[in-house]
Amino acid sequence: MKSKILKEFNIDSNRGFLPTIDPIIKLSDKFSEWDKLGKEMSSLLTNGDFRKAVLDLPDLDISTIEDGPELERAMLLLSMFANAFVWCGDKPKKIIPSSIAIPLHKIAARSGRPPITSHASIVLNNWKRIDTQKSLELENLKTIQNFLGGIDEDWFFLTAVAIEYAGAKALFASLIALEAASKRNYEEVYHNLDKVVLSMEKSVSILQRIPEKCAPEVFYFKIRPFLSGWPDKGVIYEGVSDDPMKFIGGSAAQSSLLQSIDLILGVSHNHPDSSPFLLEMRNYMPRKHRNFIKYLQSQIPLKNYIDNSGISELKEKLNLCFESLEAFRDKHMKIALKYIKRQGRDEKKYLGTGGTNFVSFLNRTKTETEKSKI
């Protein structure tokens, strides 16, 4: 049952929401200009020539790009080009040139995501293994594409990749526990709830490592601006539409991991400070991952089975799972406060990269997790 579900929703049995095949680092020769701009982007952004380089790009037909790694590589490059083009100058640009706007819009439509940089591109499909014989542990990862480059930007993206990998074990264990609970195999439930706790503890330990190589001021002033959503009035995609479009920037809330685990275990987010934003973030997830979350919504949560079982040991173990999720959200909130709120005095800058009031949002999801205990 579990393997069938994973295959249907394009979830890897070891890596979770990370792709089964390692992301490719190069497109076919036909798209060499895009790969070349990707390699030169950091230096072009530094010397102020990036926008000119984008305007000089040829118009390319994307019909030969195949679904899968090629499509994701194109989405990674084009979406990062778009964000960099809009935000690299003293003032944001209000029009994205057709050389990237048209192919980005088509690629995004095929991927089922909006035509802007999102978690699915800059995290899920933006890594390579240093040693391909080893796993996706943090020390064995490098980024494929950056904006300005440097260890801080690398580390920020890669810790998110490592959390996806570590958290995948909690996802699988919770799915197994849910199926076991439906069959009243409570010993199997208990065993897998232990795995959920251990996986979330590993995820917290990775989250705590962000300050090791990513300084708050570098993130706030150098990395974060390129992850922002479009300005209030939106951006025109030249050759696509004359009407401005507005999309939210890259956000950790676009990860399918915690939303999935919440639904399986039985954490509810119904408050105006949490629910609308979480629902909107699903639009930025890969289509099949989004469908997986819809599938989970149709299932009876593990909390219901355990509550009805009357087994106190199971209730205690499930509460430990909720505490581990709460601990992750608590640490995430503390890092966000340190890396965003304490770096500036402008209240508008207290918004997360996704455009929401991150203090209210993170605090609410943490509170809702704590209140899920039985």
Residue 345 pLDDT > 70, yes or no?
Answer: no
Residue 351 pLDDT > 80, yes or no?
Answer: no
Q: What is the DSSP string of 197-222?
A: HHHHHHHHHHHTTHHHH--HHHIIII
Distance from C-alpha of 98 to C-alpha of 113, rounded to nearest angstrom: 19
Max CA-CA distance within the chain?
68
Domain ranges of the chain: 2-370
pLDDT of residue 359: 85
pLDDT of residue 357: 75
DSSP single-letter state for residue 270: -
Question: How would you label 205-242 residue by residue, b for 16+ Cβ within 10 Å and e otherwise?
Answer: ebbeebeebbebebbbebbbbbbbbbeeeebbbebbee
pLDDT of residue 5: 84
* 29, two tokens: 């020769």
Which range (65-79, 90-104, 190-204, 353-367) has the least confidence? 353-367
Closest CA to 339 of 323, 352, 328: 352
Axis-axis angle for helices 32-47, 69-87 (nearest 10): 30
Residue 356 pLDDT > 70, yes or no?
Answer: no
Residue 363 pLDDT > 50, yes or no?
Answer: yes
Distance from C-alpha of 94 to C-alpha of 311, rounded to nearest angstrom: 59
pLDDT tens profile 271-329: 999 999 999 999 999 999 999 999 999 999 999 999 999 999 999 999 999 999 999 99
Q: Is 16 helix (H, G, I), strand (E, B) or coil?
A: strand
Which range (127-141, 256-270, 327-341, 348-362) has the least confidence? 348-362
Q: What is the dihedral of CA 153, 157, 162, 168, to 10 degrees?
A: 170
For 307, the enclosing helix (H) or strand (E) is: helix 302-309
For 95, the enclosing helix (H) or strand (E) is: strand 95-96
pLDDT of residue 1: 55
- Categorize the per-residue pLDDT at 3 as very low, low, confident or very high, splitting at 50, 70 and 90: confident
Residue in the block written with tokens 């994973």: 6
pLDDT of residue 358: 79
- Categorize the per-residue pLDDT at 348 as very low, low, confident or very high, splitting at 50, 70 and 90: very low
pLDDT of residue 246: 97
pLDDT tens profile 82-92: 999 999 999 99
Distance from C-alpha of 93 to C-alpha of 97, rounded to nearest angstrom: 10
Q: Is 28 helix (H, G, I), strand (E, B) or coil?
A: coil
Distance from C-alpha of 50 to C-alpha of 52, rounded to nearest angstrom: 5
Distance from C-alpha of 225 to C-alpha of 259, rounded to nearest angstrom: 26
Distance from C-alpha of 325 to C-alpha of 244, rounded to nearest angstrom: 39
Is there a contact between 19 and 168 (Cβ–Cβ < 8 Å)?
Answer: no
pLDDT of residue 342: 80
Helices and strands (H and E) in the chain: how many: 16, 4
Amino acid present at 227: L
Distance from C-alpha of 134 to C-alpha of 216, rounded to nearest angstrom: 30
- Categorize the per-residue pLDDT at 341 as very low, low, confident or very high, splitting at 50, 70 and 90: confident
- Categorize the per-residue pLDDT at 130 as very low, low, confident or very high, splitting at 50, 70 and 90: very high
Amino acid present at 96: I
CATH number, domain 2-370, options 1.20.58.480, 3.30.70.270, 3.60.21.10, 1.20.1740.10: 1.20.58.480
pLDDT tens profile 145-181: 999 999 999 999 999 999 999 999 999 999 999 999 9
Is there a contact between 219 and 339 (Cβ–Cβ < 8 Å)?
Answer: yes
Is there a contact between 235 and 95 (Cβ–Cβ < 8 Å)?
Answer: yes
Enumerate the β-bridge partners of residue 128.
142
pLDDT of residue 71: 98
pLDDT of residue 347: 43
pLDDT tens profile 219-231: 999 999 999 999 9
* 69, two tokens: 């790694």
